[in-house]
């Protein structure tokens, strides 16, 4: 019993040591830090999202975002010039809805084109390259994939690279589905006109009215077309939960610690160090309070944001379970089954639960996102998952 209780109290020390070692020189705690970071930072998903012949690995994320903006401007203008109506899609469209522009950690750009329009206008790689600005190179383009079509690249009918940074704009074709999926033939779906991203590995299909007719919008100051119902259009690909993923960005950037946390720490300290007025002669054991204070100080000093909150949450849960198993940790009287012992234990548990509630409140965005994703993926998906 004692070994289990003491082992639980040691867990936070091991956790903080591992977290510090893992996050040292890796964690980014603000959007500004993200933009100042190297594009080679391990938190960025940069693999295969650039043109190797133009790639500049020495640039910062801010420079990459600027390159993506410039690539968007030139690509949209050129596609429009050859008679097409490119529209914003995928992660860039999420960025527009969520951040009003680029997500700070964006690595490339995404545009969609209606396949029938492409064929009607006779759009070709040569025509696009002739219309595009000199700082951009058309790596491939056709109304269906004709070059570099291995694996996941099959779904990309076009790709334009920014010569100064190597960032790319991927171009996807959209068309009515050739064959209805079994679930699309189900009741309430028979009168829906289904469209798809052509040759998509995740079988991305959606009702036509989510996309067409396109509407005018702007992205990073660039006039461009948008899907008719952007959020609903994205929901058929990514699910209804379009919030920021819990790891890494929500925990690192969007879970600040408020004044509630120091107040909760102080309240816990008072509960652990102060004797109970109802229990004369009760002398609380100080070392659990000291250990709890040290853990809290390290969590606040060595980490930030959601990392601090997660460490405090785990620390306080371990502490509470340890004291439930070994009540003597907070004093001899607390282990007794009489009225005084029960009073001490109840008071401690009440304060501990209030402290945990404060942490949970600070983590409400993460908890809400997690609940939404579980519901969306397992219980109420818009469409069957194919991966």
CA dist., res. 125 & res. 74, Å (int): 15
* Tens digit of each residue's pLDDT (9 = 90 or more) over 172-219: 999 999 988 888 887 566 688 999 999 998 899 999 999 999 999 999
Q: Scan for tokens 């809805």, then name that residue.
A: 97
* Tens digit of each residue's pLDDT (9 = 90 or more) over 322-378: 988 988 887 655 566 666 767 777 888 888 999 999 999 999 999 999 999 999 999
Coil, helix or strand at residue 48: coil
Beta bridge partners of 72: none
Exposure letters 124-157 (e unless 16+ CB within 10 A, then b) = beebbeebbeeebbbbbbbbebeeebeeebebbb
Out of 112-126, 252-266, 300-314, 315-329, least confident range: 315-329
DSSP 8-state class, residue 334: G
For residues 69-76, give the mean pLDDT: 98
For residues 151-173, give the mean pLDDT: 97
Task: Tell me the Cα Rg of the chain.
Answer: 28
DSSP 8-state class, residue 363: T
Tokens representing 29 are 């705690």
Beta bridge partners of 293: none
CA dist., res. 147 & res. 140, Å (int): 6
User: Could you tell me what percent of the chain has a pLDDT over 70?
Assistant: 92
Residue 216 is predicted with a pLDDT of 98
Beta bridge partners of 156: 172
* Tens digit of each residue's pLDDT (9 = 90 or more) over 237-289: 999 999 999 999 999 999 999 999 999 999 888 877 765 554 555 566 678 88
Could you tell me where the beta strands, DSSP code E, fall in 71-179?
87-88, 109-114, 136-141, 156-162, 168-176
DSSP 8-state class, residue 275: P
Residue 86 is predicted with a pLDDT of 98
Average pLDDT, the chain: 92
């Amino acid at each position: 019993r004692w070994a289990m209780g003491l082992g639980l109290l040691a867990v936070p020390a091991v956790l903080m040591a591992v977290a510090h070692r893992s996050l040292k020189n890796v964690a980014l705690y603000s959007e500004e830090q993200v933009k100042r970071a190297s594009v080679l930072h391990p938190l960025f998903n940069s693999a295969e999202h650039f043109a190797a012949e133009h790639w500049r690995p020495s640039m910062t994320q801010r420079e990459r975002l600027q390159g993506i903006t410039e690539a968007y401007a030139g690509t949209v203008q050129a596609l429009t010039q050859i008679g097409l109506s490119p529209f914003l899609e995928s992660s860039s469209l999420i960025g527009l809805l969520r951040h009003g522009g680029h997500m700070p950690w964006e690595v490339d750009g995404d545009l969609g084109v209606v396949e029938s329009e492409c064929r009607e206008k006779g759009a070709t790689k040569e025509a696009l390259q002739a219309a595009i600005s000199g700082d951009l190179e058309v790596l491939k383009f056709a109304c269906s994939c004709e070059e570099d079509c291995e694996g996941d690249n099959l779904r990309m009918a076009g790709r334009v690279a920014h010569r100064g940074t190597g960032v790319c704009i991927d171009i996807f074709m959209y068309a009515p589905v050739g064959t209805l999926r079994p679930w699309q033939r189900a009741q309430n779906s028979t009168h829906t006109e289904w469209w798809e991203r052509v040759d998509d590995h995740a079988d991305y299909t959606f009702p036509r009215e989510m996309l067409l007719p396109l509407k005018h919008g702007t992205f990073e100051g660039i006039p461009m077309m948008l899907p008719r119902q952007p959020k609903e259009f994205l929901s058929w690909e990514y699910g209804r939960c379009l919030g920021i993923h819990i790891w890494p960005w929500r925990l690192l950037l969007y879970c600040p610690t408020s004044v509630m946390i120091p107040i909760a720490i102080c309240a816990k300290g008072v509960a652990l160090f102060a004797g109970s007025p109802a229990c004369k002669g009760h002398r609380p054991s100080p070392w659990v309070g000291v250990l709890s204070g040290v853990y809290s100080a390290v969590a606040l000093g060595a980490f930030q944001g959601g990392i601090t909150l997660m460490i405090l949450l785990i620390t306080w849960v371990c502490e509470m379970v340890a004291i439930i198993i070994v009540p003597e940790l907070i004093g001899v009287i607390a282990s007794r089954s009489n009225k005084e012992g029960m009073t001490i234990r109840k008071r401690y548990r009440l304060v501990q639960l209030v402290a945990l509630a404060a942490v949970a409140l600070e983590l409400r965005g993460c908890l809400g996102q997690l609940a939404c994703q579980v519901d969306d993926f397992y219980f109420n998906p818009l469409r069957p998952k194919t991966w």
